[in-house]
Structure 1
Amino acid sequence: MAEVKKYKVTEPYLDLSCGLGEAPFWEKDTNTLRFVDIVKKKLHFVDLAAGPSSHKQWDLDFSIGTTADIADNDKEFIFGGKHGYGIMNRETGESRQLVAMWNEEERKEDGGGKPGKGKTREVRMRSNDGAVDAAGRYWVGTMNDPLVVAGNITDEGVLFRLNPDLTITREKSSVKIPNGTSWTLDNKHMYFTDSPSGCITKYPYDISSGTADWSQGETYFQCPFEGGVPDGHAQDEEGFFWVAIFGAGRVVRVDLKGEVVAEIELPTRCITCPGFCGTKLYITSAEEEDPETYPWSKKYGGAVFEVDVGVRGAPLNKFRMGSKP
């Protein structure tokens, strides 16, 4: 086994105290870092050339879990939000819903569902993580909204796929906390993380139809850290993955065989997602869930961290909207 390369980060790039920082995304054309705070309903931007002092944030009326750029559209981006897919103007913050995720039946009052909270399934759910495949389809995973159900993750989440013609399909159900989603560089396999499982699973993928063979999944990466689970991940140009280990204060680089070849140690436990901007990783985190047990983790919980790892990220796909909303 090759020696594991070590990185150690002791200070944040941005000390923001996010409730749940997520979805770091590089707007390459403007060299801007975009990320969200799901819990506090905020959208953040940083001009990377200008540095942390350029940080600005928008207060939102709803939560956003994931964002992606749109092909041939420099003014707007697409997002997975509280109730569905939406479009937002990156200059003004004006937004509109594009496609609802939940059907009419799921918008009816049902007595609060299994947790006994939230009048409808739509109210109890929210978007979490997502990614765009090479054909321009936007995959977004949904889960119980802890702010509504008080942490009782009992309803099943759904992994949705939004097609360029704006039709929406439910590709996978029975998920709990959907996270890192990506594809091999040859697009023959799809990776998907359901965090409570403790692993990233690899599935055969048909890029022409946009379907994964869910019956043929095999474990690609099993989290080796006690108390930690894989959260979001970023793929580099070599096809390796940089995986956030929520609960263990680390991001690890995983090779094509699923073995850890590099490790970034961070000064807080609840690490959520890395994202590439050039050769630098920008890493989001959440507030410490158990500050009495882990007092060392509280100070920088919710901060954003920066580390140069010397390898570039794989190019990010853009949603190819074939029909206008």
Structure 2
Amino acid sequence: MPDIKKYKIIEPYLDLHGRLLEAPFWEKDRNTFRFVDIVKRKLHLVDPTVGPSSHKEHDLDFSIGTTADIEGNDAEFIFGGKRGYGIMNRETGQSRWVKDMWDDEERKEDGGGKPGVGRTREARMRSNDGAVDAAGRYWVGTMNDPLVVEGNITDEGVLFRLDPDLSLHRMKASVTIPNGTSWTLDNKYMYFTDSPSGKIMKYPFDLSTGAVDWEKGTTFFKCTYEGGVPDGHAQDEEGCFWVALFGAGKVVRVNVEGEVVAEIELPTRCVSCPGFVGTELFITTAEEQNPEKYPWSVKYQGGLFKADVGVRGCPLNKFKMQAKA
């Protein structure tokens, strides 16, 4: 077993008391760091060179779970939102939908479907995590919206892929809480996390076609920390992963063999996703789900944290939009 380097964060960078902070993303060219609150339906922005005083937020009419930059478009970014993919203006927060995820049948009343609640499948689903591959395709996972299904989350989720021509593809069904999507540095394998499984899986990937061999998946990482499951992750330039362990109050660095080599301890339990700004790792969190059992976790719940980990993040791919939207 390798030696484990330890970090400890004692207070938040931004004490927001959010409900579910997610999707940390560094707009490197503009030096702006953005993230969202899925439940409160907010877009947050901060300039890391200025610090917390630069924090701004936009109120949204719908939830956003994931965002990505668009190649050749500095004014807007693309996102996975409540009902599909959309594009948002960076300055004004104005948005437009470009591709709905759900078809006409899924917009019909269905008696609540598998959860037994929610008028239609479209109404009870929302986007969660996502990432862009090296060919510029945007992968977004969807799940039951806890606010609609009253916490009764099932495997109705779907992993979608939006191609540059804006064609939509259903890549994996029967997903519960999709998270942590990324690729090996040589793009021969894809990593994907369905959080309740407690695992990050590794699958053969064909970059030229965007195909995934789901039948040949192997376990890359299994969470062994009590109460924790892998949530979002960020890849560094050495090919290692910084994995948020929701429910364990930690982010761990996992090497290419799947071994934990570093550990960041946070003062709140529900850690959702890390994202790099240079060598600093910014970390989003959510509200404590069991405050009576874990009172220590409540003070800084839903905050944004950061730690300098001495390694830079792997550059993020941009969506290569070819069609007009």
Kept in 1: contact 2:158–2:171 (CA 8 A): yes
Which residue of structure 1 lines up, in the alignment, with residue 68 of structure 2?
A: 68
1:263 Cα deviation after fit: 0.1
Q: Which residue of 1 aligns with 2:232?
A: 232
- 2:323 partner letter: S
Number of aligned residue pairs: 325
Q: Tell me, what secondary structure is at the counterpart of 1:208? A: coil
Find the aligned partners of 1:207 and 1:239 in 2 and give their Cα distance: 18
* Residues 155, 243 of structure 1: alpha-carbon distance in 2 compared, 3 angstrom cutoff: closer
Q: Deviations over 1:76-128 (max 9, x none)?
A: 00000000000000011110001000001000111222333211000000000
- Consecutive unaligned residues in structure 1, runs of 5 or more: none
8 Å CA contact 2:8–2:264 kept in 1: the answer is: yes
How far 1:2 sits from its partner (Å)?
Answer: 1.9
Q: Distance in 1 between matches of 2:181 and 2:154?
A: 22
2:317 alignment partner in structure 1: 317
Residue 156 of structure 1 deviates from its aligned partner by: 1.3
**Match in the other structure for 1:288:** 288
Identity of aligned residues (%): 75
CA contact 2:114–2:156 (8 Å) conserved in 1: no
Aligned-pair Cα RMSD in Å: 0.6
Corresponding letter in the other structure for 2:304: V
The aligned counterpart of 1:241 is 241
- 1:225 maps to a residue whose letter is Y
The aligned counterpart of 1:191 is 191
TM-score by length of 1: 0.99
- For residue 323 of structure 1, give the secondary structure of its aligned residue in structure 2: coil
Aligned pairs for 1:146-157 (under 5 A) are 146-157=146-157
Given the alignment of the two structures, is residue 103 of structure 1 paired with residue 103 of structure 2, yes or no?
Answer: yes
Tell whether the 8 Å contact from 2:58 to 2:93 is kept in structure 1 after alignment: yes
* Whole-Å separation in 2 of the counterparts to 1:154 and 1:250: 26
Aligned equivalents of 2:213, 2:313: Cα separation in 1? 26
Query: Secondary structure, in 3 states, of the residue corresponding to 1:123?
Result: coil
Q: Which ranges of structure 2 fall in alignment gaps of 5 or more residues?
A: none
Partner of 1:33: 33
In structure 2, C-alpha distance between the alignment counterparts of 1:322 and 1:37, rounded to whole Å:
29
Runs (4+) off by over 4 Å? none
Number of the residue aligned with 1:298: 298
What residue is the counterpart of 1:252 in the other structure? 252
Counterparts of 1:33 and 1:14 in 2: how far apart (Å)? Answer: 12
Instruction: Report what 1:123 is aligned to.
Output: 123
Is 1:204–2:204 an aligned residue pair? yes
1:169 aligns with: 169
CA distance in 2: counterparts of 1:32 and 1:260, whole angstroms:
30
TM-score computed with the length of structure 2 as normaliser: 0.99
**Could you say what secondary structure the match of 1:30 adopts?**
coil
1:9-31 deviations in Å (ceiling 9; x for gaps) = 00100000110000100000111
Q: Which residue of 1 aligns with 2:86?
A: 86
The one-letter amino acid of 2:17's match is: S
CA distance in 2, matches of 1:6, 1:175: 33
Conserved? CA contact 2:2–2:260, under 8 Å:
no
Tell me the distance in 2 between the aligned counterparts of 1:258 and 1:174: 25
- Could you tell me how far apart the structure 1 residues matched to 2:98 and 2:314 are? 28
- What is the match of residue 268 of structure 2? 268
One-letter amino acid of the structure 2 residue matched with residue 203 of structure 1? Y
| Secondary structure in structure 2 of the residue aligned to 1:2 | coil
Alignment partners' CA distance in 2, 1:319 and 1:154: 30
Structure 1 residue 155: Cα displacement? 4.7
> Which residue number in structure 1 is paired with residue 21 of structure 2?
21
